[in-house]
């Protein structure tokens, strides 16, 4: 596991909106130059603070690492509030402070058939997962999404993943069918490894299915964080023993059996 280093003052290389022309789907790739963050385990995250935040917003923002090379750190960001709104309007050359990689990433077992389950922007860490996996033929992906598929880094993953399926949810009636698909897939990979990232209801479904089929599964939580380094105790999650664990340092990736994953943490 890479050690977290000091805060790095980086600059924006590019901010690119993804998806169909003129769509305004709110999905962006943010590239930062020469990150100098060392190596990362897919599922780890970075904290990001643009210089223009000043004193407001007070919190930096956590993002999972979508892709990390010596030349660039790529984040996949969907606008969902004032922090991401500012981030996605940055332009090349803008200053951003970044620290990480932080937390615990996904297990990687080259020889084990592995199912990646992603919901929406939760696809981000699996780009790095697939890119760094030594045997991508052992990887399969089920991706649920609402925006057009071209808004997400799916196509480049389909190239490296042995099997990739996308499911677009256009209306609430689609949800039961998506859950049926997840059910079949989790049953199929019950003897393998399942890694999941997406919204909390999605992760709760994955956890429920993994328990039902006795599958080994990990989920990556997106609990609200202030500091990202273990200082504030704001991002905690209840573990199986009823105690709080810190999503930032002990997670964000947890084995399903470690957690209660109730409606309210």
Partner 1 sequence: MSVDTSVRLPGMPVKNPVMTASGTFGYGLEFAPYGDLRALGGIVVKGLSLAPRLGNPMPRIAETPCGMLNAIGLQNCGVEKFLRDKLPRLPWRETPIIANLYACDADEFAELAGVLSAQEGVAALEVNISCPNVKAGGIAFGQDPAMAGKLAEAVKKRAGDKPVWVKLSPNVTDIVSIARAAVLGGADALTCINTLTGMSVDIRSRKPRLANVIGGLSGPAIKPVALRAVWQVCQAVSAPVIGVGGIASAEDVLEFILVGAHAVQIGTANFMRPDMAFRIAQRLPELMAELGINSLEEYRMSLLV
Q: Which residues bind partner 1 (CB under 8 A)?
A: 3-7, 49, 53, 55-60, 97, 99, 223-224, 226-237, 242-244, 249, 264-265
97 marked as binding residue: no
Q: How many Å apart are CA 172 and CA 40, to the nearest integer?
A: 37
Min CB(101)–partner 1 separation in Å: 12
Query: Per the structure block, which two tokens stand in for 231?
Result: 């200082």
Q: Identify which of residues 59 and 167 has a Cβ nearer to partner 1 in the complex.
A: 59
The answer to whether 83 is a known ligand-binding residue is yes
> Is residue 84 annotated as involved in ligand binding?
yes
62 marked as part of a ligand binding site: yes
The smaller minimum CB distance to partner 1, of residues 61 and 185, is found at 61
What are the angstrom distances between the C-alpha of 214 and each of 41, 72, 82, 110? 25, 39, 40, 21
The answer on whether 61 is annotated among ligand-binding residues is yes
Please report how close the Cβ of residue 37 comes to partner 1 at its closest, in angstroms: 13
Nearest approach, Cβ of 85 to partner 1 (angstroms)? 13
> 248 among the known binding-site residues?
yes
Nearest residue (CB) to partner 1, 99 versus 106: 99
CB of 46 to partner 1, least distance (A): 12
Nearer to partner 1, 100 or 153 (CB): 100
Which H, E and C letters describe the chain, residue by residue?
A: CCCCCCCEEEEEEEEEECCCCCCCCCEEEEEEECCCCCCCCECEEEEEEEHHHCCCCCCCEEEECCEECCCEEEEEEECCCHHHHHHCCCCCCCEEEEEEEECECCCCCCCCCEEEEEEHHHHHHHHHHHHHCCCHHHEEEEEEECCCHHHCCHHHHHHHCCEEEEEECCCCCHHHHHHHHHHHHHHHCCCCEEEEECCHHHHHHHHHHHHHHCCEEEEECCCCCCCCCCCCCCCCEEECCCCEECCCCCCEEEEHHHECCCCCC
Least distance CB 254 / partner 1 (angstroms): 15
Nearer to partner 1, 33 or 232 (CB): 232
The smaller minimum CB distance to partner 1, of residues 101 and 120, is found at: 101
Q: In the complex, what is the shortest distance from the CB of residue 32 to partner 1, in angstroms, rounded to a whole number? A: 16
Q: Which residues are annotated as a binding site for FAD?
A: 61-64, 83-84
């Amino acid at each position: 596991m890479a050690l977290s280093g000091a805060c790095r003052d980086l600059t924006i290389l590019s901010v690119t909106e993804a998806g169909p022309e003129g769509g305004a789907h709110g999905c962006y790739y943010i590239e930062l130059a020469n990150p100098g963050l060392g190596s990362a385990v897919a599922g780890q995250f970075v904290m990001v603070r643009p210089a223009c935040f000043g004193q407001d917003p007070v919190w930096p923002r956590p993002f999972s690492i979508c892709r990390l090379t010596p030349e660039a750190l790529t984040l996949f960001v969907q606008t969902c509030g004032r922090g991401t709104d500012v981030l996605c309007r940055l332009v090349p050359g803008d200053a951003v402070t970044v620290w990480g990689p932080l937390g615990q990433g996904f297990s990687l077992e080259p020889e084990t058939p592995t199912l990646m389950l992603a919901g929406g922007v939760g696809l981000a860490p699996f780009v790095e997962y697939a890119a760094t996996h030594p045997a991508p033929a052992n990887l399969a992906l089920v991706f649920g999404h609402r925006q057009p598929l071209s808004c997400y880094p799916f196509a480049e993953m389909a190239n490296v993943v042995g099997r990739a399926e996308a499911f677009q949810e256009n209306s609430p009636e689609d949800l039961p069918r998506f859950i049926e698909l997840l059910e079949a897939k989790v049953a199929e990979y019950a003897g393998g490894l399942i890694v999941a990232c997406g919204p909390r209801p999605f992760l709760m479904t994955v956890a429920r299915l993994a328990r039902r089929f006795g599958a080994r599964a990990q989920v990556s939580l997106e609990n609200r964080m202030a500091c990202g380094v273990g200082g504030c105790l704001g991002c905690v999650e209840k573990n199986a023993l009823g105690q709080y664990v810190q999503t930032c340092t002990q997670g964000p990736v947890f084995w399903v059996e470690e957690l209660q994953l109730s409606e309210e943490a």
